[in-house]
Amino acid sequence: MSEYKYMCGFGSHFSSEDPRCPNALPEGQNTPQKCPYGLYAEQLSGTAFTAPRKENARTWLYRINPSAKHLPFQSYEKEGGKYLSHNWDEQKPNPNQMRWKPFDMPAAGEKVNFVQGLHTVCGAGDARSRHGLAVHVYMCNVSMENMAFYNSDGDFLIVPQEGVLDITTEFGKMKVAPNEICVIPQGIRFAVNVAGPTRGYILEVYDNHFHLPDLGPIGANGLANPRDFQTPVAWFEDREVKDFSVVSKFQGHLFVAKQNHSCFDVVAWHGNYVPYKYDLSKFNVINSVSFDHCDPSIFTVLTCPSSRYGTAIADFVIFPPRWSVQEHTFRPPYYHRNCMSEFMGLILGRYEAKEEGFMPGGATLHSMMTPHGPDAKCFEGASNAKLAPERVAEGTQAFMFESSLSMAVTKWGEETCQKLDAKYYECWQALKNNFKLE
């Protein structure tokens, strides 16, 4: 039997039990005096108990050992998290357009797991007050052995760029390949196995959980459809381990607690607070079929809303292969200044507005009100192209983390990584003055 099976649906209430232990889920109640198989009942709450029913998120886990069975947490920052940061004041603000060349994989002979390979590029806000976000990249080449990780500060939206992530969670197992994403909500423990050099991006949000965006006049269907999100089925291991490590990211720092068993011992569970994955190729693109270029919000896969209606702490936006058919229109993204911060990454291919310099595994950041748009080559080509129906972004997948918060870049992102492209500004210098007074 394959260990990688999934249930479909976004925001659904699921029930799952490992087939090795039939009837492990209690019937009719959550906490019987004695659970089946001698299991412990444990609730994992992702929202306040009193949150409205439509927002309330929680799951009941039936496990061999309760999560509380561990030794005290100690600092883990000598072993991992060296380049994780929540200090948005360590660098002076920099409003310039920023572009990073592909971030380096671990050096030959160096063994780096997922937790050790986390690097913070930029962010804003404060995990302690539960407001803000951070953007990380990960570069690793070995699996996490006898170890689990969880984030006490917020949710992780993980975007693999190179290498498949084989993820074990308390809820079950899932494989996440490039051009797929996964979300690991706050507090859920997981381990990442890899088979060689592996790289990707992470959007972390402190305020809230990710939602599907409202569709408004689009109607009931389109963009990312709920049925295409996949949550793993229950899987457990009953394994004694002398020094199993549970690493917690808490208030921006890493801590580790030792225990004598694997934490992946959940035999059954039910609830709506779950990890999930999504295949980006299933996104149903909505676009103009008459004239003008639509705003990029039509490409939103998931959103983490703020308290201000229509304004997000973070949107996850993609630019997938699609048809372009607009008449009398400059079709690439327009020149733009924005009250939002825009961090872009490239999973594969060549981004249509800047085919040179922006490479898979790299990134850009266009901060609030910093102007950006197509480079000179793209502008000339699109301004003179024959406007026939055209397939764009074929073989490409670019994405954007967009936020209403003004993000600061870390010292690692601006200096230590040595990947910041000092010549990025040059891509606009060849734009000509085409003004003609007729």
Positions annotated as catalytic residues are: 293, 336, 342, 366, 372
Question: Strand 14-17 and strand 300-305: pairing?
Answer: unpaired
- Note whether 106 and 140 are within 8 A (CB): yes
Q: How far apart are CA 223 and CA 85, in angstroms?
A: 33
DSSP string spanning 145-195? -SEEEEESS-EEEEEEEES-EEEEETTEEEEE-TTEEEEE-TT--EEEE-S
DSSP string spanning 287-307? --SSBSPPPGGGGEEEEEE-S
Residue 229 is given by DSSP the state -
Name the amino acid, one letter, at 38.
G
**Rg of the chain on CA atoms, in Å:** 23
Q: How far apart are CA 236 and CA 234, in angstroms?
A: 7
- Note whether 392 and 382 are within 8 A (CB): no
Q: How far apart are CA 384 and CA 330, in angstroms?
A: 9
Q: How far apart are CA 88 and CA 122, in angstroms?
A: 8
Q: Which residue has the tokens 């790289």?
A: 199
Question: What b/e readout covers 137-175, taking b as 16+ CB neighbours within 10 angstroms?
Answer: bbbbbbbbeebbbbbebbbbbbbbbbbbbbbbbbbbbbe
Residue 185 neighbours by CB under 8 Å, 6+ apart = 46, 57, 155, 209, 273, 274, 275
